[in-house]
Amino acid sequence: MANLKEIRNRIASVSSTMQITSAMKMVSAAKLKKAQDAITAMRPYANTLTELLQNLSGSIEDASGSAYANERPVEKVLLVAITSNRGLCGGFNSSIIKKIIAQRNGVYAGKQVEVFTIGKKGNDILSKEFTVTDNRGDVFDDLTFANVAAVADQLMELYASGAYDRIDLVYNRFKNAATQIVTPEQFLPIVPVTEKTASTSDYIYEPAQAEIVSMLIPKALKTQLFKALRDSFASEHGARMTAMHKATDNATELRDQLKLTYNKARQAAITNEILEIVGGAEALNG
C-alpha cells in the first residue's frame, strides 16, 4: 500500500485537476449558450435563402455566368474538414477525421482527394495522410460573416478555375449539448433542385430572373459555409462541456476513492502504532 504522503499528493493533484475541468465546463457552458443562440437564429435565414434559390432555380441553366452550377466528371475532390483549434472536447475532432478518411476510401475511392482544413486540430492529423491545400483555422478567432465569406470566395475560385471537380464540407452539425452529428455536405457544384422541391409560384422579377440567380448563388454559398462553421462552433462547445462534465465526475470519483484509501492507510498506521506501544508496555512489565 502506498504511504500516506503519496496518497495525500495524489488527492491534491486530482482535486486540482477537478477544479480545472469544472472551470472549463462552466466556461464552455457560457460560450455554448451564445453559440447556440447564433446558430438557432441563423438557420431560418439560411433555409429561406435556400428555398428562394430553389424557387428561382429554373433559370440557373440560363445563368451561364454561374460557373458554380456546372457539373463535370468527378476526378479531383476537395474535402473541407471543419474541426477546432483546441482539444479537450471528446471525440469532436476525431469523428471528423474518421469521416474524411471514410469518404476517401468509400465514396471517392479511386479519385484524387485533397483536404482543405478549417481548424488546427484537423490540420495537425490530416496533414500526415493527405495533401492539405490550406488551413484557415484563423476564422475561429473572429467568426464573422465577412471572414467566412473570404474563405468561401477562396473555395469558389478553386472550383471555378477547374482545380477541383467537387468540393464537400465535413462538419459537426449541432443538435444539442450532448449530440453532434457528423455531416458531409456538398458545397460545389450547387446541388441540383428537383421539380418536386422547386416552387411553381408565379413571380414578377426585377431585374431579370437569371440576374437574380447569378447574384444569389455566391451569397447562398457563403451563407452555407457560415452556417456550417456556426454549427461546428456550437458543437465544439457542447462537446467540450460534456467532456469536462465527465472528466469532473471521474475526478470526483477518483478523489473519493483516494480519500477512502488514505483513511484506511491512516487507520492501519494508527493501529500498528498502538500495537507497538502495547507490545512495548508488556515487554517492560514482563
Provide the CA 47 distance to its chain's centre, in angstroms: 21
Q: What is this structure's pTM?
A: 0.85
- The length of the chain in residues reads 286
**Arithmetic mean of pLDDT over the chain:** 88
pLDDT-above-90 percentage for the chain: 67
State pLDDT tens for residues 230-269: 999 999 999 999 999 999 999 999 999 999 999 998 898 8
Q: Which of 7, 14, 77, 89 is catalytic?
A: 89
Which numeric CATH code is attached to 4-25+244-285? 1.10.287.80
User: Do the two domains 4-25+244-285 and 35-242 of this chain adopt the same fold?
Assistant: no
DSSP SS3 for 79? strand
**R_g over Cα of the chain:** 28
Lowest mean pLDDT among 13-27, 31-45, 253-267, 269-283: 269-283
Which is nearest to 7 in space by CA: 278, 285, 268?
Answer: 268
Contact assessment for residue 175 and residue 181, using Cβ atoms and an 8 Å cutoff: yes
* 173 in Cβ contact with 96 (< 8 Å): no
Q: From the centroid of its chain, how far is CA 243?
A: 13
Is 47 a known active-site residue? no
**Average pLDDT value for residue range 198-222:** 74
According to DSSP, the β-strands at 166-176 and 179-188 are: antiparallel
**Domains of the chain by residue range:** 4-25+244-285, 35-242
CA angle 53, 56, 57 (to 5 degrees): 80
Q: In terms of pLDDT, which residue wins out, 190 or 86?
A: 86
Distance CA 31, CA 86 (A): 14
**Could you tell me which CATH class the domain 35-242 is placed in?**
alpha beta
Mean pLDDT across 206-226? 83
